[in-house]
Amino acid sequence: MNKTGLNSMNKFNKSTINNIITIALIIVVYVICQILISTGVMSNLLQGLLVPICYYSILAVSLNLTVGILGELSLGHAGFMCIGAFTGAFFSKCTATILPNVFLRFTLAIIIGALSAALLGALIGVAVLRLRGDYLAIVTLAFGEIIKNVINVLYIGLDSKGFHFSMKDTVSLNLLDDGQVILKGAQGISGTPQNTSFTIAVLLLIITYLLISNLIHSRSGRAIMAIRDNRIAAESVGIDITKFKLLAFSISAAMAGVAGVLYSHNISSLTATPKNFGYNQSIMILVFVVLGGMGNIRGSIIAAAVLTLLPEYLRFMQDYRMLIYAIVLIVMMIFNWNPTCVTWRKNHPIKGIFSLLSNKTKKEA
Amino acid sequence: MKKVLSIILALSLVVASFSACGTKEAQDTKESQDAQVTQGTENTQDTADGKFVIGGIGPLTGDAAVYGQNVKNGAELAVNEINAAGGINGTQIEFLFEDDEADGEKAVNAYNTLKDQGMQILMGTVTSGACASVIEKTNTDKMFQLTPSASSTDVLKLGNLFQVCFTDPNQGIASAKYIGETALAKKVAVIYNSSDIYSTGIYEAFASEAKNQNLEIVAAEAFTADSKSDFSVQLQKAKDSGAELVFLPMYYNEASLILQQASDLDYNPTFFGCDGLDGILTVENFDTTLAEGLTFLTPFSADSADENTQKFVTSYKAAYTDAPNQFAADAYDAIYIIKAAIEKSAITSDKSVSEIGDALKGAITQITFDGLTGTGMTWATTGEVNKTPVIFTIKDGAYVLAQ
């Protein structure tokens, strides 16, 4: 970290320039959005979507670490988001009266969400990272579902005597009169304070971006990529495979946890339904990563933003909305990644069109 | 290169969205100016541009799509009737409906979309989970919100929402009271869906009221959304525990399977349910003789002989071919309740969202409404509806009033 910092002081290397470009892009978009909000030009829909774009971007960036950099297919990413969301919301709800300072409480909630997701990521990682390829994908898928289902049967209440747990129903919690049920099984947690703001979400996105891009360009990052490229060669030069795999996997889980905390503090009701934390969500995040380009962090952010906006702006299509969305998704995938399209794009660059135009105008002049 | 291209694509999308909302805003201000102008010049014709914009939110895609679709149709039917009859105090209604996929996050997006389209009153959302997210938004905007079918108590906590349906606990309590008072049974088994808010909400209230009614709950067996096809274990337990009555707080699809599997087990207790069971006779390939004697509490029945209900069912079938369920009836009532509240408060459509919200909030607690889903409906300031539950029994394949 220090060494790369020094390097970049002397001459900006490629990765630093890349970082600066991406962060500058995020900040420019942020400033434009703030101006539009303050002048009242921005629609309510877009204002409401700003925070979701940020947390979906964080999810995509974090999954990119597992899929693009570590090279392992994980289909349980929504499960880690779920853990972050529930622990964060649980903490905020318990301490709502004790900690009136919103900034402190929310910061703690984010840290707790990240830590618990990282812990679970490490626990699961120990078990599943021994597997490779399809098997790993299947097992992570199962873990994602397990997390969701466990939360769905968990009842936790709080009264003056402390916490009460149950796996059956709220009646069997035996709460005192002053007690309150915090986690109500399938009904989840409701009434979480809405602390997430666009500014905080953008800040966290930048932090996530910096953390992951610095990790990639650090010694550990190179080790992780060496494992991806050739496991046997990496092992033969003395890279501790389990350690680096676990490192990447738990950091990825921790960031998903942060996104979860943002999610749970953005809308006031939180339930672990297949819709928001099921495998469909995991696959959705994977789609962000694949469309944005595996290993390409900036691409993940852009893909997450575009694919979050798209279904909302297709609302005018009424019942055909999700159908069109799917078609657009397929077209985008083909256009971005189909080899024929890639060569076609290389032969017909946009810069070429610009230079053609400028030549034309020069001739005309 | 592909990066440049994807950035351009993304930027063009952003630009498009900004420009879209820009023009929308411009249009809005223009329209409101126009409206003011027409009002200024000719006061008699104030209805030309002004209309009440009522928004609806519910699932049109996904597992719960059937409920959202019914609400949308029911509300549209009511709006068309009102508009054809000259509107509310001469003002027409515009009804807009957005899909929320029964998800809180999407519901907020749908709400924001409707707000961009100029919604003044919200009739929604259909499901409780999504509703719990939207109440925060309507509370901030002081928008009037009336839900046809979000029945959990969580949605009432901010005190800005009014319900057409019973709350889940109320249904559970009413069921336990009815069973206790009519001495239908002493030993009761409950089979409920632990992954569903509606089902657990009713069950919990039923369990606590059962103690007061001296009912003994001998078995409380849960199932989840992932395992709702085989109920033989739950039924066997109910049978072994000697339950004379099985309480089914769930929707009719699962209940029809339970009735089928109970008859396979040769187990014939009294089955008792809630409003989710309305529609059980329409399940495909279901032997309706199995539902004989099934008793349940529902505010609406499409088979009822009531004149207004028959009129509603006929016009609903004419417009949408399917028979309506209670969701459609709730939504139909909701629109007429909004109409009654507007008439009571004499508010006009040119007022701001929060002014209309405040006026209607005051007015709805003063009205008494007779609709398809109950007569003499009144509202407390908490938002809960006060109406008498109606209990039906199925006899010879038709609903018969049990009381």
| Chain B residues closer than 8 Å to A25 by CB | 7
Contacts of B103 (CB under 8 A, 6+ apart): A273, A275, A276, B129, B130
Look at A186 and B194 and tell me if their CB atoms are within 8 Å: yes
Q: Angle at CA B363, nearest 5°, toward B360 and B365?
A: 115
Alpha helices of B241-325 — where are they, by DSSP H? 252-264, 307-320
CATH classification for the domain delimited by B52-166+305-388, as one of 3.40.50.1360, 3.40.50.2300, 3.90.1150.10, 2.70.150.10: 3.40.50.2300
Which among A149, A131, A148 is positioned nearest to A139, based on CA atoms? A131
Burial class (CB in 10 A: 0-12, 13-18, 19+), A55: buried
CA dist A192 and B68 (Å) reads 26
CA dist B165 and B133 (Å) reads 19
Look at B18 and A42 and tell me if their CB atoms are within 8 Å: yes
Look at A186 and B196 and tell me if their CB atoms are within 8 Å: yes
CA dist A227 and A234 (Å) reads 6
Q: Does B6 touch chain A (CB under 8 A)?
A: yes
CATH fourth-level superfamily of B169-298: Response regulator (3.40.50.2300)
| Chain A residues closer than 8 Å to B250 by CB | none
Which among A356, A354, A362, A206 is positioned nearest to B4, based on CA atoms? A354
Contacts of A24 (CB under 8 A, 6+ apart): none
Q: Name all domains of chain A by residue range, CATH numbers in brackets.
A: 3-356 (1.10.3470)
Cβ atoms of B254 and B279 within 8 Å: the answer is no
- Minimal CA separation from A243 to chain B, in Å: 33
Mutate to test the interface with B, among A269, A298, A331, A334 (most CBs of B within 10 A): A269
| Chain A residues closer than 8 Å to B116 by CB | 43-45
Q: Does B312 touch chain A (CB under 8 A)?
A: no
Residue ranges of chain B that CATH labels 3.40.50.2300: 52-166+305-388, 169-298
Look at A186 and B104 and tell me if their CB atoms are within 8 Å: no
Q: Does B192 touch chain A (CB under 8 A)?
A: no
Look at B13 and A310 and tell me if their CB atoms are within 8 Å: yes
Cβ atoms of B132 and B138 within 8 Å: the answer is no
pLDDT tens sequence for chain A (365 residues):
455 444 445 567 788 888 899 999 999 999 999 999 999 888 889 999 999 999 999 999 999 999 999 999 999 999 999 999 999 999 999 988 888 888 999 999 999 999 999 999 999 988 888 887 788 889 999 999 999 989 988 889 888 888 888 887 777 787 877 788 888 887 888 888 888 999 999 999 999 999 999 999 999 999 999 999 999 999 999 999 999 999 999 999 999 999 999 999 998 888 888 888 988 899 999 999 999 888 889 999 999 999 999 988 888 877 787 788 888 888 888 888 888 888 887 887 766 666 666 665 555 54
Cβ atoms of B361 and B380 within 8 Å: the answer is no
Name the B residues in 136-155 with CB < 8 Å from any A CB: 136, 152, 154
pLDDT for res B3: 56
pLDDT for res A116: 96
Count of positions (residues) in chain A: 365
Cβ atoms of B99 and B68 within 8 Å: the answer is yes
pLDDT, tens digit (0-9, with 9 covering 90-100), for B186-222: 899 999 988 777 888 899 889 989 988 888 999 999 8
| Chain A residues closer than 8 Å to B22 by CB | 41
Reply yes or no on whether the pLDDT at B255 is more than 70: yes
Look at A299 and B105 and tell me if their CB atoms are within 8 Å: no
Q: Does B104 touch chain A (CB under 8 A)?
A: yes
Rounded to the nearest 5°, which phi and psi values hold at B229?
A: -120, -25
- Minimal CA separation from B1 to chain A, in Å: 7
Cα dihedral B223, B208, B330, B58 sign = negative
Q: Does B118 touch chain A (CB under 8 A)?
A: no
Identity of the residue numbered B102: A
Strand partners, B216: B187
| Chain A residues closer than 8 Å to B62 by CB | 275
Interface pTM (ipTM) of the complex? 0.83
Contacts from B208-212 at CB under 8 Å and sequence distance 24+?
B208/A171, B209/B172, B209/B173, B209/B176, B209/B177, B210/B176, B210/B180, B212/B176, B212/B180
User: How far lies A289's CA from each of A67, A283, B251, in Å?
Assistant: 8, 10, 39
Look at A45 and B113 and tell me if their CB atoms are within 8 Å: yes
Whole-model pTM: value is: 0.82
Cβ atoms of A355 and B10 within 8 Å: the answer is no
Reply yes or no on whether the pLDDT at B20 is more than 80: no
> What SS3 state is found at B357?
helix
Look at B200 and A49 and tell me if their CB atoms are within 8 Å: no
Considering only CA atoms, give the Rg of chain A.
Answer: 23
pLDDT, tens digit (0-9, with 9 covering 90-100), for B79-117: 999 999 998 988 999 999 999 988 888 999 999 999 999
Asked if residue B153 has a cis previous peptide bond (ω within 30° of 0), the answer is no
Look at A271 and B129 and tell me if their CB atoms are within 8 Å: yes
